[in-house]
Amino acid sequence: MAHIEPHCPTIDRMSTLTITNPATGAPLAEVPIDDAAAIGVKAHAARSAQPAWAARPLAERVDIIRRFRAAIVRELETLATTLTQEVGKPIAQSRNELNGLLGRLDFFIAHAADALADETVHDEGGMRERISHVPLGLVANISAWNYPWFVSCNVVVPALIAGNAVLYKPSEYATLSGEHLVRLLYEAGVPNTVLALVVGGGATGAALLDQRVDGVFFTGSHATGMRIARALEGRLVKLQLELGGKDPTYVRADADPKAAAESLADGAMYNSGQSCCSVERIYVHQSVYDAFVEHFLTTVDGMRVGDPMDDATYIGAIARAPQLDVLDAQVADAKAKGASLRRGGHRLANQAYAPTVFTEVDHTMDLMREESFGPVIGIQKVKSDAEAVALMNDTRYGLTAGVYTKDETAAREVLNRVNAGSVYWNCCDRVSPRLPWSGVGDSGIGLTLSTHGIRAFTRTKAWHLRQP
Ligand code: NAD
Q: What is the pLDDT of residues 21-39, one digit of tens each?
A: 999 999 999 999 999 999 9
- Look at residue 129 and tell me whether its pLDDT is greater than 80: yes
pLDDT at 399 over 70: yes
User: Cα separation of 254 and 251, whole Å?
Assistant: 8
Assess whether the C-beta atom of 219 lies below 6 angstroms from ligand 1: yes
Task: Report the mean per-residue pLDDT for the chain.
Answer: 96
User: Is 233 an annotated catalytic residue?
Assistant: no
Exactly one of 86, 97, 179, 242 is catalytic; name it: 242
Q: How far is the centre of ligand 1, averaged over its atoms, from the C-alpha of 252 (Å)?
A: 34
According to CATH, what is the number of the domain 248-433?
A: 3.40.309.10
Residue 292 has what DSSP assignment?
A: H
> 343, exposed or middle or buried, with CB in 10 Å at 0-12, 13-18, 19+?
middle
Residue 457 and residue 451: Cα distance in Å, rounded? 11
Instruction: Enter the pTM of the model.
Output: 0.96
Is 242 a residue of the active site? yes
Any ligand 1 atom below 6 A from CB of 224:
yes
Could you tell me how far CA 459 lies from the centroid of its own chain?
23
d(CA 71, CA 177): 14
Q: What's the rounded Cα separation, in Å, for the pair 232 and 210?
A: 9
Residue 7 pLDDT level (bands cut at 50, 70, 90): very low
pLDDT computed for residue 9 by the predictor: 33
The alpha carbon of 461 and the centre of ligand 1 are apart by a number of angstroms equal to: 32
226, pLDDT greater than 70: yes
pLDDT at 413 over 60: yes
Task: Please tell me if the CB atom of residue 169 comes closer than 6 angstroms to any atom of ligand 1.
Answer: yes
Domain ranges of the chain: 10-243+443-466, 248-433
Of 64, 60, 151, whose CA–CA distance to 104 is shortest? 151
State the average pLDDT over residues 386-395: 98
Interval 231-243: pLDDT, tens: 999 999 999 999 9
CATH number of 10-243+443-466: 3.40.605.10
- Nearest ligand 1 atom to the CA of 173 is 26
Q: What backbone phi and psi angles, to 5 degrees, belong to 467? A: -65, 130
- The answer to whether the CB of 171 is under 6 A from ligand 1 is yes
Nearest atom in ligand 1 to the alpha carbon of residue 244 is 34
Q: Is the CB of 144 under 6 A from ligand 1?
A: yes
